[in-house]
Amino acid sequence: MGETEDERTAQASQLFENFVQASTCKGTLQAFSILCRQLELDPLDYSNFYSSLKAAVSSWKVKALWTKLDKRAQQKVYNQNKACKGTRCLIIGGGPCGLRTAIELSLLGCKVVVIEKRDTFSRNNVLHLWPYTIHDLRGLGAKKFYGKFCAGSIDHISIRQLQLMLLKVSLILGVEIHVNVEFAKLVEPPEEQPDNSPGWRAEVRPSCHPVSDFEFDVVIGADGRRNTLDGFRRKEFRGKLAIAITANFVNRNTTAEAKVEEISGVAFIFNQKFFLDLKEETGIDLENIVYYKDNTHYFVMTAKKQSLLDKGVILNDYIETERLLSADNVNQEALLSYAREAADFGTNYQLPSLDYAINHYGQPDVAMFDFTSMYASENAALIREKHGHQLLVALVGDSLLEPFWPMGTGCARGFLAAFDAAWMVKGWAQGKSPLEILAERESIYRLLPQTTTENISKNFEQYTIDPATRYPNLNSSCVRPHQVRHLFINGRQD
Ligand code: FAD
């Protein structure tokens, strides 16, 4: 009898370990489904799932993870997983910010469904992490999922590793995740018997997917810079022409590679001599360059147009940037050489072989983008009301505020917005009035574009979804309810 018990513990531990170690999106979902089947756990029983999983997987190896997650879950703000009991949320997009929001909403006790149009996490590019994000991710057990997480003084992570760990935490906390499902549009509640008419739903592709029957009270747009939800006008910040190049090279983890120093963006922006020498020696003219050593050797740089023309990367000079950077106006071979040469110079020719890593499309992982215009949504949230059903609609991550890649602000500000959105959902579940909720959310959103590592609270241990724990000098009522009336869109205005 005792032996059977031991065997069962060992088997559960092994199944959980397979899940923790899975290295792809599909592999993680598969390992999770095997884990649930073998241990007879029902992942749809979202409010009990985490405690059932903990009871089923109790080996010493996972205890440290449970301790961390318990500590988080016990924050008062979640009211023991009951703060938003009964609230149903749909999250569009399984990028870092969609998943980070999913985790908070599930800790609040919401039923959370994430739809993600792809089934692979393939972005090698690397995100800079602010100290608070490192602290936050450590608190979610990042090191258990990815042993190399922020070892030593490392303060960055590849997008795909970040997605992978957040996906695992989400699943553990009972979030329902559907990949290969694309959000198309919201479906309004039909005009029927007000008492039991269906509520808000989503039209998705493929159209027959069961998630199209899911009724929700909150929808979060986390689908990246091309946000698909209506009602969010975009503000454009137009700067001088900025062309960014990202490049990823294979990291063979040799001693020689380990010795090469990273280039942190902030330090290098001020080093004018470096850029002058680079230009003189190679003809490459950059405004900045960042190098992070991660799963790949990752470089992001902002290049001046004239040097791209001189080096034959861009073929013809056009005024419209879209035409300038269109595929038929770019010499791909020359672009590969340009980025490699810049990387080589930037690392003092110390990286032994700069072989391109292969991207999602089976091509060398280099990309060139226009950063002249960056977008931010004018508002962070709105409320729709139709036939007696209210829907809280909010944006997070790049959909809300686009980051400047060389500074890597996307994930740091994205997580702050994820917490702020969760705070709003809590207010909503507590029955605050729509205009009050919207006014508070827009007041807090005003702070987001100005946040830096310096001006947010340094007391990371105290961070919760309550904005007062993160923003010193917070004024949650600088936007007044009458200023957000247009964000409460009810049937009468249609
Ligand atoms: P994203 O990471 O863009 O995630 C959005 C998710 O939504 C994606 O998984 C997408 O597949 C999914 N999706 C989109 N539309 C739908 C839909 N209709 N239905 C369902 N799912 C949908 N930042 C940097 O700082 N440095 C970089 O080098 C860098 N490189 C990047 C490279 C690429 C190709 C992209 C897309 C972004 C890059 N970023 C980079 C931005 C950075 O990834 C984001 O700031 C960060 O990941 C947080 O973004 P997010 O979760 O809001 O959105």
Check residue 226 and report its DSSP letter. Answer: S
* H-type alpha helices, 187-326: 255-259, 265-268, 272-282, 305-310, 321-324
Average pLDDT along the chain: 94
**CA-closest residue to ligand 1 atom 43:** 159
Residue 227 pLDDT: 83
Q: From CA 307, how far away is CA 199, in angstroms rounded?
A: 56
> Among residues 302, 328, 303, which one has the least CA distance to residue 315?
328
Q: Is 125 in the pocket of ligand 1 (CB under 6 A)?
A: yes
Report the nearest atom of ligand 1 relative to the CA of 225. Answer: 3
Copy the structure tokens of residue 371.
């950063």
Copy the structure tokens of residue 243.
């062309």
Write the CA distances from 29 to 61, 176, 252, integer angstroms. Answer: 21, 11, 28
Tell me what ipTM this predicted complex has.
Answer: 0.98
* Percent of the chain whose predicted confidence (pLDDT) is above 70: 96
Q: Is 284 in the pocket of ligand 1 (CB under 6 A)?
A: no
Check residue 44 and report its DSSP letter. Answer: T
Contact residues for 111 (Cβ-Cβ < 8 A; gap 6+): 46, 86, 87, 88, 89, 176
Q: Is 118 in the pocket of ligand 1 (CB under 6 A)?
A: yes
Question: Over the stretch 411-447, which tens digit does the pLDDT of each residue have?
Answer: 999 999 999 999 999 999 999 999 999 999 999 999 9
Q: Is 162 in the pocket of ligand 1 (CB under 6 A)?
A: no
**Domains of the chain and CATH, by start:** 2-78 (no CATH), 88-232+375-493 (3.50.50.60), 240-371 (3.30.9)
Question: Over the stretch 196-226, which tens digit does the pLDDT of each residue have?
Answer: 778 999 999 999 999 999 999 999 999 998 8
Torsion from C-alpha of 26, 29, 34, 39, nearest 10 degrees: 170
Report the nearest atom of ligand 1 relative to the CA of 96. Answer: 51
When mean pLDDT is compared across 222-226, 459-463, 483-487, the lowest value belongs to: 222-226
| Overall pTM surpassing 0.90 (yes/no) | yes
Residues 202-228 as b/e (b if ≥16 CB within 10 A, e otherwise) read: bebeeeebebbebebbbbbbbbbeebb
**CA-closest residue to ligand 1 atom 26:** 405
Residue 1 pLDDT: 47
Place of tokens 């964000």: 487
Which amino acid makes up residue 239?
G
How many other CB atoms are found less than 10 A from the CB of residue 383? 22
